[in-house]
Structures are given as structure tokens and as C-alpha cells.
Structure 1
């Protein structure tokens, strides 16, 4: 923060959080499907592995890592020293 400029976090506009949300929702759905709705024939089709369960858990871990990344290394957005509304009022008063 040099030269008097201020910075703030990107917050919900951070693309990493959007990606984490999408992957997390899909991961939760797959985990629920893997736990409650996989039949023995479905497991036999996937070489004996409950693929929905493991893919869902993997996606949840991936989403958690993205959230952790966004929290530990936030994107900082510079904030203007003079808001645009004040600039417009100053420009209008000068005319």
C-alpha cells in the first residue's frame, strides 16, 4: 500500500471462490449418490470401485483447497482515493 493507495479484498468476486462453490456442489451431489444410491451392479460396472463416492470426495477436497487458497492469499483490489461520484460533482462544479 504505497503512495497512499488503499486496497481491499476481492471477496465474493474472487473466481477461486466461484470455482470452489461449483465443484463443491457437484462433489456433494456425487458423494450423496455414492453413499446412498449405488447398487452392486453399478459398482461392478466401474471395476468394483464406488466411483461416485470417490469422485465426490475428491471434488470436495479440491473445493476445500480452493477456499483455503483464496483465504490465505486473497486478491487485493486497489481502491481509488477519490470516488467517482465525487469526481463527477467536482467536474460539474468546475464547468
Structure 2
């Protein structure tokens, strides 16, 4: 489960989402809001990324990767 691509993508999106949420909450100015049409784009994109990351991590927990078992149908004869 640790090396599943969904875990890696979810973790990276979560890290980037948290960083953008912090930047959007702490460092926004009136000039930034005017440039983006009144939207705090860092904050909103961080929230969306965090929600998608949670979705990926829930997906990993609900549908884990199934490793097929290799079974011999017949034993080799000598």
C-alpha cells in the first residue's frame, strides 16, 4: 500500500494543498485579489487539492491493490 501510485499522488497533492492553504491564508493582498477577480486563488486551489488528496487516500483504503497469488496447477515431473 505504501508504494501504490495512488498513495504517492495523494500524499503529494496533500502536501502541495496544505502549502497553498497556508500561503493563501497568510499572504494575500488587495492587489492579488484584484488581479484574480476577487478570488483568493491560492486558498481555493489548496482546498481543492487537499480534498482530491483525501479522495485518493480514501480510494487506497477502500480498494487496496490485490496481488495475485501464483499457484502451480501441477507439479513438475522428472
TM band (smaller chain): 0.7 to 0.9
Deviates further, 52-61 or 72-81? 72-81
**What residue in structure 2 maps to residue 16 of structure 1?**
6
Is 2:47 the partner of 1:57? yes
Larger Rg: 1
CA distance in 2, matches of 1:13, 1:78: 16
Partner of 2:23: 33
Once superposed, which parts of structure 1, at least 4 consecutive aligned residues long, lie more than 4 Å away?
none
- Give the TM-score normalised by structure 1: 0.70
Aligned residues: 71
1 CA distance for matches of 2:69 and 2:28?
51
Q: Which runs of 5+ in 2 are unaligned?
A: 72-78
Q: CA deviation at 1:57?
A: 0.1
Structure 1 segments unaligned to the other structure (5+ residues): 1-10, 82-95
- With normalisation by structure 2, the TM-score equals 0.85
RMSD (CA atoms): 1.2
